[in-house]
Amino acid sequence: MRARQVLPLLAAVTCVVAVPAAAGAAVDVEMIASGLDNPRHVAISDRGDIYVAEAGRGGDPATSKSCFDSAEGLACTGATGAVTRIERRFGDQERIVTGLASFAPATGDSAIGPHGIFAAHRAVYVTNGGPTGPTRGTPPELVLRDPTLVAEEPISRLFGTVLKLRHDGGVRPIADIWRFERDNNADGQVGNPLIDSNAVDVLADGRRLLVADAGGNTLLRRSPRGRLSVLSLFPNVDTPGPGGATIPMQAVPTSVVKGPDGAYYVGQLTGFPFPVGGAKVFRVDPATGDRTDYATGFTNVIDLDFGRDGTLYVLEIDRDSLLGESHDGGLWKVPPGGGTPERIELPAGTLTEPGGLAVGWKGRLFVSNHAREAGTGEVLEIDLDD
């Protein structure tokens, strides 16, 4: 679990649905937060408050001084990333941190910004994702964060960092993931030469931090003294692509949690061509970084978390692939200790490109939804009652 103790959340009910699940158990779905900008990962504090990383809506193309080509098209930078807290007792929703780095197309959808979040022992950590691999020109040339993007929009200095929230609503950078990628480019040795960093999840394990870098295809570890190192490097996998061509598909790790056995568990989005059933959950030895496959058969894993009984819940941002026609997300559970994953059937239309998952009080699931939309993002509380 992302927190050791979770108290009941007494939120105002805005939407409740109950239907039979695959195994015949009732499923209650309640919306407890709305109006979010590209909400991504979710964390629950020791007090039971729910924290959501909002990737923001980028910058206004008419005023931003830093626009570039991204995977989502022409995007502009702005200080619109945020962290929202949903108070445990009364369900009050508040943006407690604003002004973080974000970039997005003109619509504000599909933003890159704050993404991973972890809360425990009165400390909250958030990753400010990006800058991925922005380019300009024809042929396209890589634009680096330092010095170019920062000179254009100073807020860009937060891209690719891990931040610790301060009690006054500010943040303190404690790790520079982008700089580590620039200086080391660990996945260059497995065929990915581009300087590409996108810190998308963070886990505090004692005095150490673990960071999943989706762009760098690495699980990084930050020592108590602040030194970054590669704990595990995820290689490319040759995968059939369109027209029968073989594509060296990147792993794209998107989530990291600590399991009941003390190992780290990492979820995989996969890169292009985003094959259905091609994503895995890896078990990573915390001492050696060695990987084994813990569970397979998923599609575009965006987050995961353990329940108190050792069940692993796995969230898919798009169950028929990011290249598929549907935008429905998917939810799975893996039995304690491993085994065959079981899909959790939810009311039709419940999950639309969800972005984050945390297991809370009495096994209730808290899931961010509409995670690639500005202004319409929400958080759902799902009670499986099984």
pLDDT digits (tens, 9 = 90+) for 59-71: 999 999 999 999 9
The pLDDT confidence band at residue 106, using thresholds 50, 70 and 90, is very high
Report the pLDDT averaged over residues 114-134: 95
| Cα 249 from Cα 351, distance rounded (Å) | 26
pLDDT given at position 141: 96
pLDDT given at position 386: 58
Burial class (CB in 10 A: 0-12, 13-18, 19+), 194: middle
Higher confidence at residue 301 or residue 5? 301
C-alpha separations of 116 from 214, 262, 322, 364, 365 in Å: 11, 20, 20, 20, 17
How much is the pTM?
Answer: 0.92
The pLDDT confidence band at residue 237, using thresholds 50, 70 and 90, is very high
Nearest to 251 by CA among 220, 222, 287, 213: 213
pLDDT given at position 121: 82
Q: Where are the domains of the chain?
A: 16-383
The pLDDT confidence band at residue 363, using thresholds 50, 70 and 90, is confident
For residue 17, pLDDT beyond 50: no
Name the β-bridge partners of 284.
264, 291
Query: DSSP letters of 144-185?
Result: -IIIIIHHH-GGGGGTTEEEEE-TTS-EEEEEEHHHHHHHH-
> What value does the mean pLDDT of the chain take?
92
pLDDT given at position 203: 98
- Could you report the per-residue pLDDT of 296-353, keeping only the tens digit for each? 999 999 999 999 999 999 999 999 999 999 999 999 999 999 999 999 999 989 999 9
Q: What angle do CA 97, 108, 36 make, to 5 degrees?
A: 45
Nearest to 308 by CA among 338, 336, 340, 339: 336
User: β-strand 208-213 against 16-20: which pairing, if any?
Assistant: unpaired
- Could you report the per-residue pLDDT of 24-52, keeping only the tens digit for each? 456 899 999 999 999 999 999 999 999 99
pLDDT given at position 282: 98
Higher confidence at residue 353 or residue 385? 353
SS3 141: strand
- Could you report the per-residue pLDDT of 246-274, keeping only the tens digit for each? 999 999 999 999 999 999 999 999 999 99
For residue 57, pLDDT beyond 90: yes
pLDDT given at position 243: 85
**CATH class of the domain whose range is 16-383:** mainly beta
For residue 15, pLDDT beyond 70: no
For residue 370, pLDDT beyond 50: yes
Nearest to 145 by CA among 122, 111, 176, 106: 176
Report the pLDDT averaged over residues 92-102: 97
pLDDT given at position 260: 97
On the question of a cis peptide bond just before residue 131, with omega within 30 degrees of 0, the verdict is: yes
Higher confidence at residue 187 or residue 22? 187
For residue 122, pLDDT beyond 50: yes
The pLDDT confidence band at residue 5, using thresholds 50, 70 and 90, is very low
The pLDDT confidence band at residue 143, using thresholds 50, 70 and 90, is very high
pLDDT given at position 10: 27
For residue 23, pLDDT beyond 50: no
Q: What angle do CA 119, 314, 213 make, to 5 degrees?
A: 60
